[in-house]
């Protein structure tokens, strides 16, 4: 049976301010669901809430993974169940190399499996980095320390490709990228989709990335509510009409 993530009437507040005001959406394995919306509409809040960030308080609603509520699950348990968040603003981690971070993540996740062979792992990691047009030595540097904006974004995609999540929530993986980096990031996202049939929630402010990653569904969020949702044809409508005219921005 295909895996499904369902968000039901989700209302979320931060510091007594209601941010999400009743969101309903479903993400199935194999789907690429683009979530668009102006700044401040609640896109990051949605992504963080799905991953279980403690700062976001759920007032009402539920998040179900294959029919089971995950609201009581820690972010770690959600990650082990195959959920992955690509951050809008990836932080640096001093003293930890990307390569050791990812090996540890794999060991923790796959308790029953033997740790990946370090030589084979390093080789594969570098090949993936190269494919994203990243300098391969970055994998042996401290996570994101001294990385450019584009390198940080590619780094998120690299982590995703290594961890092979069943569901990836990518929060503006395209923001601040030049066209070459955008193509590389899009290639990484398409690669995960083709190789693993993951369900992908692609959060974006700009339609630009949708020229490279074809969404199966598109939802527009505004002020904590879904104002429009549709199939791939909605991407064409946005292309023609402009996204602001649809959202009334």
Residue 91 touches which of Mg ion, ligand ADP, none (CB < 5 to 8 A by kind)?
none
- Residue of the chain from 9, 40, 69, 123 that contacts ligand ADP (CB under 6 A): 40
Alpha carbon distances (Å) from 134 to 116, 120, 146, 165: 22, 19, 14, 21
Q: Name residue, tokens 């083709």.
A: 194
Q: Torsion over CA of 213, 214, 220 and 221, rounded to 10 degrees?
A: -40
User: What whole-number distance in Å separates Cα of residue 224 and Cα of residue 122?
Assistant: 42
User: What whole-number distance in Å separates Cα of residue 31 and Cα of residue 199?
Assistant: 5
Q: Is 247 in the site for Mg ion (CB under 5 A)?
A: no
Segment lying near Mg ion (by CB under 5 A), choices 22-30, 85-93, 118-126, 151-159: 85-93
Which of 22/116 has CB closer to ligand ADP?
22
SS (H, E, C) 38-57: CCCCCHHHHHHHHHCCCCCE
- Residue of the chain from 12, 36, 42, 215 that contacts ligand ADP (CB under 6 A): 42
- Residue of the chain from 44, 144, 219, 247 that contacts Mg ion (CB under 5 A): 44
User: What whole-number distance in Å separates Cα of residue 69 and Cα of residue 65?
Assistant: 6
Q: Is 16 in the site for ligand ADP (CB under 6 A)?
A: no
Q: In this structure, are residues 198 and 167 in contact, taking their beta carbons and an 8 Å threshold?
A: yes
The size of the interface with ligand ADP (CB under 6 A), counted in residues, is 12
Segment lying near ligand ADP (by CB under 6 A), choices 32-40, 73-81, 137-145, 208-216: 32-40
Q: How many helices (H) and strands (E) in the chain?
A: 8, 12
Which of 37/82 has CB closer to ligand ADP?
37
Taking the complex as a whole, how short is the minimal distance between the CB of residue 43 and Mg ion, in angstroms? Answer: 5
Segment lying near ligand ADP (by CB under 6 A), choices 15-23, 70-78, 122-130, 236-244: 15-23
Question: Using CB under 6 A as the criterion, which residues of the chain lie in contact with ligand ADP when the complex forms?
Answer: 14-15, 17, 19, 37, 39-45
């Amino acid at each position: 049976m295909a895996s499904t993530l369902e968000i039901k009437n989700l209302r979320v507040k931060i510091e007594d301010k209601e941010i999400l005001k009743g969101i309903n959406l479903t993400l199935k394995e194999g789907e690429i669901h683009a979530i668009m919306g102006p700044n401040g509409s609640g896109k990051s809040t949605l992504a963080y809430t799905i991953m279980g960030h403690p700062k976001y308080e759920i007032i009402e609603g539920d998040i179900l993974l294959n029919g089971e509520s995950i609201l009581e699950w820690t972010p770690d348990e959600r990650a082990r169940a195959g959920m992955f968040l690509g951050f809008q603003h990836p932080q640096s981690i001093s003293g930890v190399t990307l390569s050791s971070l990812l090996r540890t993540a794999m060991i923790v996740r796959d308790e029953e499996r033997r740790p990946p062979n370090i030589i084979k792992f390093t080789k594969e990691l570098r090949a993936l980095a190269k494919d994203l047009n990243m300098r391969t030595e970055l994998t042996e540097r401290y996570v994101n320390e001294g990385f450019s904006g584009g390198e940080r974004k590619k780094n998120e995609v690299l982590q995703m490709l290594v961890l092979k999540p069943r569901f990836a929530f990518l929060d503006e993986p395209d923001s601040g990228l030049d066209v070459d980096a955008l193509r590389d990031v899009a290639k990484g996202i398409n690669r995960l989709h083709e190789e693993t049939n993951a369900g992908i929630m692609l959060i974006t402010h700009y339609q630009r990335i949708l020229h490279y990653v074809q969404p199966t569904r598109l939802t527009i969020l505004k002020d904590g509510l879904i104002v429009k949702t549709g199939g791939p044809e909605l991407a064409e409508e946005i292309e023609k009409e402009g996204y602001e005219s649809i959202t009334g921005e």
